[in-house]
Every structure is written in structure tokens, then in C-alpha cells.
A and B are shown apart, each in its own frame.
Chain A
Amino acid sequence: MTPMSDVMVLLLTFFMMTSTFVKNEPAKVLTPSSVSEIKVPEKDALTILVDSVGKVFMGMDNQGEIREVLSEITGLFGVSLSAEQQANFLQDAMWGVPIENLDEYLKLDVNEMNKYIQSDKNEGIPLDSIENGDGSKGMSQFQHWVKAARGVNDDLKLIIKGDQHTPYKTVKRIMNELRDINENRYYLATSLKASED
């Protein structure tokens, strides 16, 4: 018995030391493989998740910063959220609902929220630009989110996490929108290629 429990204690400590918890992402994304060995930055990261049909989600690593970004965005779009709704927002690993639906979405129960964000009803963060009052092209909700995040943290690193089957059109659109607000440096999340062909 003793050797077994010894081994188990060892295993347990190993897992406790090395573990980084799996984040619950709203969409299942299989990243493309590459030979690049640069690690994904863990701090100051803004992850832009693009699923295989082109829905866009976002996530940040720092809860405090998410709170600031949220208050900035809600202020900008004139949405008022209760303390409970804000707590709900922070509970989710990633967000990706159009601002019009934010209020309704955050009123839901946590389990319902997960279902909603994954369902076909939800369209992700819209990339369409909002027209200004004078009819000129303004920034899209997506750009507002990124800009707010940049305003909160100046060292922000943008990680684009796309699915293998995401059409390049969507990725191009995201990059173009980012380039419009002078964000030209990205990390493309990939997984290590198993064997060199």
C-alpha cells in the first residue's frame, strides 16, 4: 500500500504544479499546426477566437481588466448593467454577444448563458461597422472592444485563434479591422506539428 500512495502523492504534486486549467471556450476550435515554437503569451493577452463558421469571441486573462473594459463599453453604448449582470459577465471565460443582446444574455442563468452563446441564435461580436450620425463609416463593435482593451492595458498582446477550417475571408476581415485601428502585431495560435513531413 505504502509504495502506491507514495507514487500517488508524487503524481498529485506533479499535476498540481504543472496544471493550467482548461478554459471553457464558447466554440470548439482546432488550431492549425505549425513548426513554430513560440509560446502563446499568458499575461496581457487578448484572445480573439474565430470559430469555423466565422463567429468571433473574445477573452482576456485578467478579471480586473475585463471589468474595466466592460464598463467602458457599456458606457459607450449606453447600456446599464446591474451588479449581478456584471458578475455574470465576469464568470464566463469568453464573451461574444452583440451589445444589443448583452442585457438579455446576462439576465440568464449561468448554464443558460453557456447554451445561448453556443447556439446558432448568437452571432458573436459583430464585425460590421456602425454608421456614424452623418452616414460615414464608423468603428465596428469588434473594434470598440479591442480599442477599449488597449486603453485599459497598453502592453496588450493580440492572439488570433482561428479554426483550421475558418475561411481566410473572416481572418482577413478581422486583420483588416485591426489594422484600421493600428494593431499590426498578432500572435496566431497554433499547435505543434507532430511530425515533419
Chain B
Amino acid sequence: MAKQNASKQKKMDVRVDFTPMVDMMMLLITFFMLCTSLAKPQSMELVMPSNDKNMQDEDKSVTKASYTITIYVSSDEKKVYYVEGLPKYDDPSCIKETTWGKEGIRSVLIGHVTEDGTQPVLDVMKAKAKLDEKKLNHPKDWPDSLYNAELSKIKGGDVTGTGEKIQTMTVIIKPTDSAPYSKVVEALDEMQICSIGKYVIDDINPDDEKLLEQRGIK
């Protein structure tokens, strides 16, 4: 009898009301959801040549014209203009027209054949693909630091890994004043996709302006 009594006492209702806690939690979650930015912004590193006149002259390295491509970024968001080699200021027809993206400017860069019959961009990209494959198959052997060192070697022209260097392409990007910033970034992006190590953003000079004007490009 006594036992039964004791068990009766324990049958008290011990459930705690969680509703306020859940309410508060909901509020907190909504607060955090609204106030956070999950996607971290990316960035692109860019090194510009110094404005110092004395240094500029020393740094000028000589490249063969056929190892150079000049890209004009204009206000036209669909089209991009380029010159294979250095622009000939007396001949407006040296400017060729193409589109952005894989079919356009990228295939121009990759397919560019130099006077020596080589395709430096293609060679560099092939070497990079090999490196990527190696990294994929043995991720442990290729920490980021080693990979990046190897990649910069390839971008510098050492495609065979023997220290023998091929001459790489130089790309000069010349955006006009009215070119939208996004297109300039897109041009820089192509440099990254095509693993071009040597590129520079240059100001448009009066000769370029004249040349573009003759073609009706803004």
C-alpha cells in the first residue's frame, strides 16, 4: 500500500513548456540569417607598374612583335577588339573584332601562332593541365605552396620542367575611358584562364585613340 502511494506522488506532471525558448531561438535565427553574408567576396591580385619614370625605362624588356597581342576593351559589352602583334598606327584594318568568352577572345589567345610557328599559350596551358592532373592523382604530394611554385615556373615559360624556357606571350590590355570596369576584369580573367604570366594594363595613347576612331570604336 505504501509503495502505491509513493508512485502516485511521482506521477506529477513534469513537462516544461519550451515554447518561449523556441520562439526566442526562431528570432535569433532570423536575425543571424538576415545579417550574415555567407558568400565571401573573392578578389583578384593586380600589380601595376610603378609610375616612376626612371624605373620604367629599365624594366622595359624587348619582346618580339609576334609574341604580343594588344587587346582593346571598349564600351561595347559584346565585342572586344585586338591586334595581333603591336598596333600599326597607319593601318586601321590591323584591328580585328571578336566576342568575349570561350569562342571569342580565348580561342584567339590560345590559337595564336607566332612567327616561329609555336603556340605559346597552348603549350603553357597543356603544361598546366598536366600539372593539374598530377595534383589530382596525388593530392598529398602537391601541397598548395609546391603547386603554386610549379605553376609560376610554367607561366614563366618552363613548360617541360627541365629548366629550358620557351618564350611566352605578352598581352597588353588597353581599356578605353568609357569601358565598363566589369569588362576590364573580364579581360584580366582571360589572362588567368589562359595562364598568361606576362600581361599589363596600359593607358590608351593618342595614337590608339585615332586608330580606334577610324574604326568607329568608343
Contacts and interface: CB of A to CB of B under 8 A. Distances in A.
Given A5-B22, A40-B41, A184 B50 contact: yes
A142 B218 CA distance: 29
What is the interface of chain B mostly: helix, strand, loop, or mixed?
mixed
A76 to B, nearest CB: 23
B44 A190 contact: yes
A12 B27 CA distance: 10
B38 A187 contact: no
Contacts of B184: 168, 171
B175 interface: yes
A189 B185 CA distance: 10
B37 interface: yes
What is the interface of chain A mostly: helix, strand, loop, or mixed?
mixed
A34 B102 CA distance: 14
Given A168-B177, A172-B177, A18 B38 contact: yes
A53 to B, nearest CB: 12
A35 B192 contact: yes
B178 A36 contact: no
B33 interface: yes
A20 to B, nearest CB: 6
Nearest to A45: B43
A1 B185 contact: no
Nearest to B35: A21
B43 A20 contact: no
